[in-house]
Chain A
Amino acid sequence: MSMRRFSLLSLAREALRGHSGWQPQWRSPPSPAAAYDAVIVGGGGHGLATAYYLAREHGMRRIAVLEKGWIGGGNTGRNTTIIRSNYLFPESAALYDHALKLWEGLSRELNYNVMFSPRGVLMSAHSVHDIQSFQRHIHANRLAGVDNEWLTPEQCKAFCPPLDISPHARYPVLGGALQRRGGTARHDAVAWGYARAASALGVDIIQNCEVTGIRREGPGGAVSALETTKGLVRTARVGVVAAGSTSLVMAMAGLRMPLESYPLQALVSEPVKPVFPCVVMSNTVHAYISQSDKGELVIGAGTDQYTSYSQAGSIQILTHTLDAITEMFPMFRRMRMLRAWGGIVDVTPDRSPIIGLTPVPGLFVNCGWGTGGFKATPGSGHVFAATIAKGEPHPIAAPFNLARFETGRMIDEAAAAAVAH
């Protein structure tokens, strides 16, 4: 299917025709073909991006994305869309900055407006420990070629006027670390843009198709086929990108993963006029907030303490975050919250993702993004596609191998997270 490109001309023409000429943006065949060269399990942003780069950069044509529900309906549609790359360790900074560089050209690459908005991500410091930790990040980031700068409280206030920097606050703002290249993007557009571009390159996107079994009849127990609710699909390469459900899918191949799945909640306020110009994150009081282009304040809460697949969390987690938000931004104290929801995030012991090969030949996995995977979507798909196509880890993905839990070469961002979960 040839993709009809968006351009000023096509938009103007459709405006004059009452928008009667638009076609579906991607093909979604009702059922999969009998065989594919590669099958991606999971139609979120990461999975769709993987399929897109497999087709775009590695010339594979017979590719399917199997999605249990609808594309982008999992964590891609449930996160707070924050994008940044100022991670502490060189391996992480390389991975997330690879993604950030792809974000910067993504709308043009996909010919689809993903509304990437580098409005700046400000992390506020409230303690001596915060100051030392953030400044360590800033120095490490500078060595890694990632922008990140220190702001005084007055500079924080100038950058984000709603912020309360008075010394009478319960947790006074002592400064902040700002990544100006960071920001937000439109989550649905990311899924739809990748789906549209992948579909145009021949990728089959099969929705409402749950994988129920993994057959390993190839040499050395290699993957040979997937059992699905829409029939058997033969393939020698499977990429599992199933986020919170990864443990369940991998168990079908006989593998037990170093993952636990937790509910992570977010909420939005009633929409208001533009009041909040950037993204602010605070580790100490646990708050992160931005304003969507629709005008809603988008607020992220924490994970619940227990594992769950219920896609709903406890109310005290939300109120805890709102306490922090209204403490930092007193002007929001009378705002009403409109919706709250949960997603299921798969968390690794070192809070870094797993991208790469598995002990099962032909089976690849991209998981463990935990509470912060959206920002990595383009980079994750890009390096995972290369890993699947070549059968060996992409250099940026290599440190994030599954075997690190055995060798001990952890990438311990757990202690370095922007917000502790």
Chain B
Amino acid sequence: MLLIRCPHCGDRPEVEFRHGGEAHLARPPEPAALSDAEWAAYLHQRRNPRGPHAERWRHIHGCGRFFNAVRDTLTDRFLATYPTGAARPDGTQQGDPA
């Protein structure tokens, strides 16, 4: 089980959280202006990297808030957690084909 540091509550066990998928995916402001390929890419294509991965978590059995994390998907080690809306911390990009 992972130990996850909620930016608002501190270290808590994984069972208090829900994983929310890849982070920093912005919904296109005008979906109707996109081609089918662009819309499909937004909906379905994911980087799925082996290494640092920026992802969303929700502290659903705690404060209930979403936040972002960078986790190494090879070791499951968290490199950083940070509030939604904040930029991805420096030094966590290496190896992620973002």
Residues of A contacting B15 with CB < 8 Å? Answer: 316
B46 touching A314, Cβ below 8 Å = no
| Complex CA–CA separation, A308 to B19 (angstroms) | 12
Say whether A142 faces chain B, with CB atoms less than 8 Å apart.
Answer: no
B47 touching A248, Cβ below 8 Å = no
Distance in Å: Cβ of A14 to nearest Cβ of chain B: 44
Say whether B41 faces chain A, with CB atoms less than 8 Å apart.
Answer: yes
| Complex CA–CA separation, A312 to B15 (angstroms) | 17
B55 touching A314, Cβ below 8 Å = no
The one of A256, A316, A407 in contact with B41, judged by C-beta atoms closer than 8 angstroms, is A256
B75 touching A310, Cβ below 8 Å = yes
Say whether A145 faces chain B, with CB atoms less than 8 Å apart.
Answer: no
A405 touching B46, Cβ below 8 Å = no
Distance in Å: Cβ of A353 to nearest Cβ of chain B: 15
Say whether A9 faces chain B, with CB atoms less than 8 Å apart.
Answer: no
Say whether A128 faces chain B, with CB atoms less than 8 Å apart.
Answer: no
B1 touching A316, Cβ below 8 Å = yes
B50 touching A248, Cβ below 8 Å = yes
CB-CB nearest in chain A for B36: A406
Distance in Å: Cβ of B76 to nearest Cβ of chain A: 5
Say whether A305 faces chain B, with CB atoms less than 8 Å apart.
Answer: yes
A258 touching B44, Cβ below 8 Å = yes
| Complex CA–CA separation, A316 to B37 (angstroms) | 39
Interface size on B, residues (CB 8 A): 27
CB-CB nearest in chain B for A263: B76
B1 touching A314, Cβ below 8 Å = yes
B76 touching A260, Cβ below 8 Å = no
B19 touching A257, Cβ below 8 Å = no
Say whether A247 faces chain B, with CB atoms less than 8 Å apart.
Answer: yes
CB-CB nearest in chain B for A256: B45
Residues of A contacting B75 with CB < 8 Å? Answer: 310
B40 touching A309, Cβ below 8 Å = no
Residues of A contacting B37 with CB < 8 Å? Answer: 406
A308 touching B48, Cβ below 8 Å = no
Say whether A307 faces chain B, with CB atoms less than 8 Å apart.
Answer: yes
Say whether B59 faces chain A, with CB atoms less than 8 Å apart.
Answer: no
A260 touching B14, Cβ below 8 Å = no
Q: Which of B25-47 contact A (CB under 8 A)?
A: 36-37, 40-41, 43-47
| Complex CA–CA separation, A301 to B68 (angstroms) | 27
Say whether A416 faces chain B, with CB atoms less than 8 Å apart.
Answer: no
| Complex CA–CA separation, A261 to B51 (angstroms) | 12
A256 touching B73, Cβ below 8 Å = no
A residues contacting B by CB (< 8 A) are: 245, 247-248, 251, 256-261, 305-310, 312, 314-316, 349, 405-407
B residues contacting A by CB (< 8 A) are: 1-2, 14-15, 18-19, 21, 36-37, 40-41, 43-50, 53, 55, 71, 73-76, 97
Ordered by A's residue number, 28 sampled pairs between the chains whose C-beta atoms are within 8 Å are A245-B50, A256-B45, A256-B47, A257-B46, A258-B40, A258-B44, A258-B46, A259-B46, A260-B21, A260-B46, A260-B48, A305-B19, A306-B2, A307-B53, A307-B73, A308-B73, A308-B76, A309-B73, A309-B74, A310-B74, A310-B75, A314-B1, A316-B1, A316-B14, A405-B40, A405-B43, A406-B36, A406-B37
